[in-house]
Amino acid sequence: MAITIGGSPPIAAIPQKKYDSVQWLSKGFSHMKIFSRNPRFKLSSSPLPFHGAGNMPKETDVHVVTPDMSSPRLMPELLDAWNDDYNGVVINPESLPMSANAFASALRASLSHWKLKGKKGVWLKILQEQAELVPIAIQEGFNYHHAESGYVMLTHWLPDDLCMLPGSPSHQIGVGAFVINDKREVLVVKEKCPCSCSGVWKFPTGYINKSEDIFSGAIREVKEETGVDTVFLEIVAFRHAHFMAFENSDLLFVCMLKPMSCDIIVDEKEIQAAKWMPLEEFIGQPFYQDDPMSKKVTDICIAAHEDRYCGYVGQQLASKLDCKLSYLYNAAFWDE
Amino acid sequence: MAITIGGSPPIAAIPQKKYDSVQWLSKGFSHMKIFSRNPRFKLSSSPLPFHGAGNMPKETDVHVVTPDMSSPRLMPELLDAWNDDYNGVVINPESLPMSANAFASALRASLSHWKLKGKKGVWLKILQEQAELVPIAIQEGFNYHHAESGYVMLTHWLPDDLCMLPGSPSHQIGVGAFVINDKREVLVVKEKCPCSCSGVWKFPTGYINKSEDIFSGAIREVKEETGVDTVFLEIVAFRHAHFMAFENSDLLFVCMLKPMSCDIIVDEKEIQAAKWMPLEEFIGQPFYQDDPMSKKVTDICIAAHEDRYCGYVGQQLASKLDCKLSYLYNAAFWDE
């Protein structure tokens, strides 16, 4: 399925509003309208100064579906909804009928109405406090799309052809931190975990938080687990693994960090122990020597430490076109 | 929150079973048991030959919670469930009571029972055909965790302290393909979309499919949109953007591909037009020249084409320890 993430180069060639819309190209959905109508999605918390404005919808975005006036008595009230840019419909999650019966009849009538109008994807977000509406929506042909704390999003593809709606997020992003000091000692931890690895000295690792950048996630994890302050140097490699939790995928970014302090304060909730370990002792552990993936990553980290390797650094760049500030990660390159 | 994605280097230092468990360290969940008990999660489709074996659960993983036999009459039947490695409970989605009333009383009794036993995270997967159980679970204190076509996963953190369960997947992975031939012509497309960008010549871009690798996603998107066969050369950069659809984040990987054919067959579902455009004409478009992000990515792609840049190549490596084959992406480096 094609999306357009900006132009060519694909990253940033489209204004925010267009960008948000176009990434759903042929997938029947422009998510901004949900953001704009739903307090949960207020963007005031965005760290991206340009972002809010870019996401402000025009009134013309909003389209309340009204019954066919030629037969007002025969048509029950329809659900409040607006069109998306792809001939789809987004039901207003803030104005769903409170009663299950009223919802069921309005949903049924709305679906027939939208099908007659040739609409394609229908998006229905049900907040946790209205969970009793979920089985009704499923009964009317909706399917789960995604969920997170507080709501579940359901979709219904009205045409008879193949559903072109986008999938839900599929990846967790992990970071691993290689922190080495001037004495060639590596910062290592022993995790508190019920598995055999708990006895092994490893890099600090973790998942990044929602909307957190890779480099700041690595710095935070090291600080949380060991108390050591660091600065980000570069991403030296990343691994793409499939069939992880819930059959989703993981991207794990291996980051080189420079220590700015040496005292260790162990996070006792998660970590058994942490210490500075001489590099030779660290790479001497059979645990790594016997494993092709581990050996390769260790070799890369050492090469990077010895300036025999050029990883990716991050640079925050604005795009006039999508009114967004984002980090681009790339290696250094030589001018012509 | 710490995870351990393998050891240190964090990628691959743990056997598959341990790996799957330990990545949920202190998050109260080991997903393998759900996979193992639920036909939906059969791993036969895995392209990773070592994977299936790694995920086979031992019978000892399964723990059916039974009532306190000292007072059998007072205790209603409890839900079938098993323990995870983090003092949590995974309810068996295959054996939920069919009737809402039976489910409600069994769930209530089970939650009290597990709370008394000091259990932490409770995982409840409800298949689409049992949607009527969702509002009951919400009423009993469950919250949505994630959902996808066919099911919704709910969680309940029993202790009074801060919930330590892991988040749901937060990222969509996009690819952009820079395809340039020996005549310095770039493969560009005009998307069919309702926004202004539809008039602009851009890289082919798209989202990778579930469990698809980055390089193969880029090759597939180019083939789908333009009919051109390519081989993957390297990832030259990636952008990390937040507050995209559903307030999730995107990682977009810019891939250099070498064309192996030249004839263009446009995918008319998604693409207005596609052609080979002289590089100078391509970079001359104001659309890119005016935009810092676009300009930088274009410069990187040209430098890579002119051998003035070293991007990341992928190498499939086995880990003896997690019994997994995964792609590691990194630059070339010099031996000592």
Cα separation of B76 and A109, whole Å? 42
Across the interface, of B13, B206, B211, the residue whose CB is closest to A200 is B13
Whole-prediction pTM: 0.77
pLDDT in tens, B275-334: 999 999 998 888 777 889 888 998 999 999 999 999 999 999 988 766 789 999 999 876
| Cβ <8 Å between A131 and B151 | no
Interface membership of B18 toward A (CB under 8 Å) = yes
* Alpha-carbon gap: B70 to the closest alpha carbon of chain A (Å): 31
Distance to chain B for A69, nearest Cα, Å: 29
Query: Which pLDDT score is estimated for B194?
Result: 61
- Note the pLDDT of residue B53: 26
Q: Which of A188, A239, A312 sits opposite B328 (nearest CB)?
A: A239
A196 touches chain B (CB under 8 A): yes
- Tell if the CB–CB gap between A331 and B321 is shorter than 8 Å: no
CB contact under 8 A, B7 and A200: yes
Could B195 and A12 be called an inter-chain contact, meaning their C-beta atoms sit closer than 8 Å?
A: no
pLDDT bucket at B74, cuts 50 / 70 / 90: low
Kindly report, residue by residue over B155-195, the tens digit of the pLDDT: 999 999 888 888 888 899 999 999 999 999 999 999 876 65
Report the C-alpha gap between B180 and B191 in whole angstroms.
Answer: 19
Q: Do B287 and A13 touch (CB under 8 A)?
A: yes
Least confident window among A306-315, B75-84, B110-119: B75-84
Regions of chain A short of the pLDDT cut 50: 1-73, 336
**Contact in structure between B18 and B85 (CB atoms under 8 Å):** no
- % of chain B residues with pLDDT over 90: 57
Rounded to 5 degrees, what are φ and ψ at A185?
-105, 135
User: Residues near B327 by Cβ (< 8 Å), separated by ≥ 6?
Assistant: A239, A240, B213, B214, B215, B314, B315, B316, B317
- Using the Cβ of A50 and the Cβ atoms of chain B, whether some distance falls under 8 Å is answered with no
Q: Out of B169, B294, B331, whose CB is closest to A169?
A: B169
Check residue A67 and give its pLDDT: 43
Please give the pLDDT value at position A287.
75
Chain A within 8 Å of B128 (Cβ-Cβ)? yes
Residue B56 has pLDDT above 60, yes or no: no
Q: Which amino acid is at A31?
A: H
Percent of chain B with pLDDT over 70: 74
Cα A302–A303–A306 angle (5° rounding)? Answer: 85
Question: Distance (Å) from the C-alpha of residue A50 to the closest C-alpha of chain B?
Answer: 12
Determine the pLDDT at residue A243.
Answer: 86
**Short-list A278, A270, A89, CA closest to A186:** A278
Q: How far apart are CA B319 and CA B322, in angstroms?
A: 6
Tens of pLDDT, residues B208-258? 998 999 999 999 999 999 999 999 999 999 999 998 877 789 999 999 999
Q: Cα separations (Å) of A125 from A151, B53, B244?
A: 7, 39, 17
Pairwise CB contact (< 8 Å): A318 & B293: yes
Query: How would you class B301 by CB atoms within 10 Å of its CB: exposed for 0-12, middle for 13-18, buried for 19 or more?
Result: buried
CB B28 within 8 A of CB B164: yes
Are A2 and B150 a contacting pair at CB < 8 A? Answer: no
End-to-end CA distance of chain A: 37
A283–chain B Cβ distance below 8 A for any pair: no
Task: Identify the pLDDT of residue B102.
Answer: 95
Is B297's Cβ below 8 Å from some Cβ in A?
yes
Q: Which residues in chain B are closer than 8 Å to A139, comparing Cβ atoms?
A: 131
A-contacting residues of B 226-245, CB under 8 Å? 236-245
Do A17 and B197 contact (CB within 8 A), yes or no?
no
pLDDT of residue B22: 25
Q: How confident is the model at residue B200 (pLDDT cuts 50, 70, 90)?
A: confident
Closest alpha carbon to A179 in A231, A216, A220: A231
B288 touches chain A (CB under 8 A): yes
- What's the confidence (pLDDT) of residue A247? 79
User: Which chain B residues touch A10 with a CB distance below 8 Å?
Assistant: 174, 176, 202-203, 205, 252, 254, 297
**Nearest CA to A147 among B143, B232, B40?**
B143
* pLDDT band (50, 70, 90) for residue B34: very low
Tokens 């948000």 belong to which residue?
A20
Average pLDDT, whole number, for chain B?
78
Do β-strands A121-127 and A89-91 pair in parallel, antiparallel, or remain unpaired? parallel
**Residue A136 gets which letter from DSSP?**
H
**Which B-chain residues 83-102 have CB contacts (< 8 A) with chain A?**
85-86
Alpha carbon distances (Å) from A97 to A79, A106, A119, B90, B134: 8, 8, 22, 34, 18
Cα of A68 to nearest chain B Cα, Å: 26
Domains of chain B in start order, with CATH, are 81-157 (3.40.630.30), 171-330 (3.90.79.10)
Residue A288 to residue B7, Cβ atoms within 8 A: yes
ipTM above 0.90, yes or no: no
Measured in angstroms, the CA of B62 and the nearest CA of chain A are apart by: 16
Residue of B nearest to A195 (CA): B18
